[in-house]
């Protein structure tokens, strides 16, 4: 049939507009939300086979998303792990491996240490900074703890009020993190924060139904007082061990409710089907021989990803996944290519690596006041540990951990020579140089196979991979921490980002900073708001008459500087104070 020209033209324009809309909708990135629990192993969750703690909201995510069964932190403690989650670098590749650097525990200072920032290489940005450069609204609620102070250009808002709902334009894609501290090790303490000396503890409480939180307020258990639990063999096989497990399950229930609130908010905003939800924990569990160690109880983490289009709903994924893969995967989910400096690989999204990884790697160095150095390599079945200080005990007394009643009970059993065979393993006074565990047949990693000839080939393979990895990342664990501090803080002072220089031409301001790796941001005084971050500088900006222009320059690990200008004249340059200044 022959149509008149004007009708054909109308049809052509209509089709062009239709497909343009389709393409625009297709190209618009999903929102991404990270829901982060603390100090939580997957072994105690319904999605991973343990139904003792009711978790309806996590169960929903598991039904509607993908459960990853082989996901691992890069360290058994939070700050080094979060340095990786922020940068895509292993902590020991840039001097962030010691727990912790920004806010030392009092006993750590007895080692001669001072608060300091690790300094990433100049090309490194926080991953949220990259997202903001590409049009995402980014919020963090609210834990930071990256081993360096956050990039001032990384978040639109970071704090207890940070939320995607604060973005000025509801059509702006967002990346939002919500941290749930209720499962943290400190929530296992059963007494109010108290002054104490090592080996001298408050009297034990008799009640199992309620225990005190950090502020001394009674927090009732969210599971039955007599819940039947299975205590890991390395913990006390008595009522104290059982109570610790019940408290842990109770905290899981409370965390699940907090997850449910975020899911409800996404539904209320009509965003659930426009948002990728990633739920995980920052490392393994809160109990003794969990946190700080490189056994699976300290490294293995739960990970559930819910995709908004319902793809892969209900699936289980057994690929090896490491925290160092999270930042490149986040960018890949947003349709952005990961930068080459990142040491992990995208396992989902547009830039997903086709070949899954063969190994995961992890480190343990100083924990508060105790110094050790252990490296781990794991494939899907076997775990290899290299102990660089075999003359030092396995168990190192950390004051923070000894606030738990269950840890106090282990020490009582040790002091009365009442530990059983499994519990005594942790309290050996020396370590084997190498350890090898079959995690399928020995999930608690109690039997070292390193000297068994039947596993010589496995041992050789993992040993070689450990050496290769440490060399590839230029492992900083071999550098004395005092020397690291001297490198990061020349002459004992933090390094300063140079103040910006600017040129004005025909009402446009061109900015520059001489510090390698520094990023520049700006904002106008008339537009400042707590929920609006610095605008990333890319091209010359307008010089607005009678409006203050603030300009920030910041390199990670350095102190940032803010320049205030008015009508083209610099009023002052201010170096922002760090909390430990």
Q: What are the structural domains, with CATH classification, of the chain?
A: 29-364 (3.40.720.10), 494-575 (2.60.40)
Residue-level pLDDT at 219: 79
- Alpha carbon 466 to chain centroid distance? 23
Q: What is the pLDDT of residues 543-575, one digit of tens each?
A: 999 999 999 999 999 999 999 999 989 889 999
From residue 406, give the alpha-carbon distance in Å to each of 228, 410, 417: 17, 6, 16
Mean pLDDT (the chain) is: 92
Q: How many CB atoms lie within 10 A of CB 27?
A: 8
Q: What is the DSSP string of 495-564?
A: -BPPPPEEEEETTEEEEE--STT-EEEEEEGGG--TT--PEEP-S-EE--TT-EEEEEEE-TTSBPEEEE
Return the active site residues.
78
Residue-level pLDDT at 292: 97
Residue 28 confidence class, pLDDT cut points 50, 70, 90:
confident
Distance CA 269, CA 441 (A): 47
The set of long-range contacts for 527-533, using a CB threshold of 8 Å and a minimum separation of 24, is 530/157, 530/161, 531/156, 531/157, 531/161, 531/162, 531/166, 531/167, 532/156, 532/157, 532/168, 533/132, 533/138, 533/153, 533/154, 533/155, 533/156, 533/157
Q: How many CB atoms lie within 10 A of CB 140?
A: 23
Asked whether the predicted pLDDT for residue 465 surpasses 50, the reply is yes
Closest by CA position to 83, among listed 495, 92, 157, 180:
92
Which uninterrupted H or E stretch holds 277?
strand 275-281
Q: What is the pLDDT of residues 376-395, one digit of tens each?
A: 999 999 999 999 999 999 99
Closest by CA position to 284, among listed 293, 265, 297:
297
Q: Helix H segments across 208-343?
A: 239-268, 296-299, 326-333
Instruction: Summarize the confidence of residues 193-205 as an average pLDDT.
Output: 33
Residue 246 confidence class, pLDDT cut points 50, 70, 90:
very high
Q: What is the pLDDT of residues 99-144, one digit of tens each?
A: 999 999 888 999 999 999 999 999 999 999 999 999 999 999 999 9
Residue-level pLDDT at 461: 98
Asked whether the predicted pLDDT for residue 50 surpasses 50, the reply is yes
Instruction: Summarize the confidence of residues 322-334 as an average pLDDT.
Output: 98
Residue-level pLDDT at 579: 65
Residue 190 confidence class, pLDDT cut points 50, 70, 90:
low
Residue 488 confidence class, pLDDT cut points 50, 70, 90:
very high
Residue-level pLDDT at 23: 44
Label the pairing between strands 137-141 and 174-180. Answer: parallel
Residue-level pLDDT at 218: 52
State percent of the chain over pLDDT 90.
87
Burial classification of residue 527, based on how many CB atoms lie within 10 Å of its CB (0-12 exposed, 13-18 middle, 19 or more buried): exposed
């Amino acid at each position: 049939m022959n149509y008149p020209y004007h009708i054909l033209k109308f049809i052509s324009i209509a089709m062009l507009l239709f497909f343009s809309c389709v393409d625009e909708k297709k190209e618009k990135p999903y929102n991404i939300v990270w829901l982060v629990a603390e100090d939580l192993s997957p072994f105690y969750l319904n999605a991973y086979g343990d139904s003792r703690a009711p978790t309806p909201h996590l169960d929903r995510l598991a039904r509607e998303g993908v459960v990853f069964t082989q996901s691992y932190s890069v360290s058994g403690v939070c700050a080094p792990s979060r340095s990786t989650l922020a940068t895509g670098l292993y902590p020991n590749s840039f001097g962030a491996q010691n727990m912790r650097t920004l806010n030392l525990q009092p006993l750590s200072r007895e080692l001669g240490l001072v608060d300091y920032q690790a300094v990433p290489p100049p090309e490194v940005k926080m991953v949220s900074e990259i997202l903001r450069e590409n049009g995402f609204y980014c919020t963090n609620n609210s834990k930071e703890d990256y081993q360096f102070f956050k990039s001032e250009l990384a978040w639109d808002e970071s704090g207890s009020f940070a939320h995607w709902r604060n973005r000025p334009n509801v059509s702006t894609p967002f990346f939002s993190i919500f941290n749930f501290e209720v499962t943290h090790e400190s929530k296992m303490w059963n007494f109010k924060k108290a002054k104490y000396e090592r080996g001298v503890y408050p009297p034990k409480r008799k009640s199992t139904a309620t225990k005190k939180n950090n502020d001394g307020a009674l927090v009732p258990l969210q599971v039955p007082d007599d819940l039947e639990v299975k205590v890991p063999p390395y913990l006390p096989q008595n009522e104290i061990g059982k109570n610790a497990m019940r408290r842990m399950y109770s905290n899981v229930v409370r965390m699940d409710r907090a997850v449910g609130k975020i899911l409800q908010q996404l539904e209320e905003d009509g965003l659930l089907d426009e948002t990728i939800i990633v739920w995980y924990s920052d490392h393994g569990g809160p109990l003794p021989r969990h946190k700080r160690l490189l056994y699976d109880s300290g490294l293995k983490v739960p990970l559930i990803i819910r995709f908004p289009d319902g793809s892969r709903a209900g699936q289980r994924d057994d690929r090896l996944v490491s925290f160092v893969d999270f930042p490149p995967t986040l960018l890949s989910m947003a349709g952005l290519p990961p930068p080459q400096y990142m040491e992990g690989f995208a396992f989902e999204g547009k830039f997903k690596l086709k070949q899954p990884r063969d190994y995961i790697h992890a480190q343990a160095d100083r924990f508060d006041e105790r110094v050790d150095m252990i490296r781990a390599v794991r494939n899907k079945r076997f775990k290899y540990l290299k102990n660089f200080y075999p003359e030092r005990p396995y168990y190192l007394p950390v004051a923070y951990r000894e606030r738990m009643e269950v840890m106090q009970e282990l020490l009582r059993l040790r002091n009365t020579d009442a530990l059983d065979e499994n519990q005594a393993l942790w309290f050996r006074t020396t370590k084997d140089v190498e350890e090898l565990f079959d995690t399928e047949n020995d999930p608690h990693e109690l039997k070292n196979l390193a000297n068994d000839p039947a596993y010589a080939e496995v041992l050789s393979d993992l040993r070689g991979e450990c050496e290769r990895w440490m060399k590839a990342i230029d492992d900083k664990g071999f550098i004395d921490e005092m020397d690291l501090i001297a490198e990061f803080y020349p002459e004992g002072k933090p390094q300063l980002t140079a103040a910006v220089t600017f040129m004005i031409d025909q009402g446009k301001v061109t900015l520059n900073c001489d510090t390698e790796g520094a990023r520049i941001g700006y904002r106008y005084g008339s537009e400042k708001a707590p929920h609006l971050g610095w605008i990333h500088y890319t091209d010359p900006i307008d010089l607005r008459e009678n409006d203050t222009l603030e300009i920030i320059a910041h390199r990670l690990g350095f102190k940032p500087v803010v320049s205030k200008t008015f009508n083209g004249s610099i009023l002052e340059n201010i170096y922002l104070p760090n909390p430990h200044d």
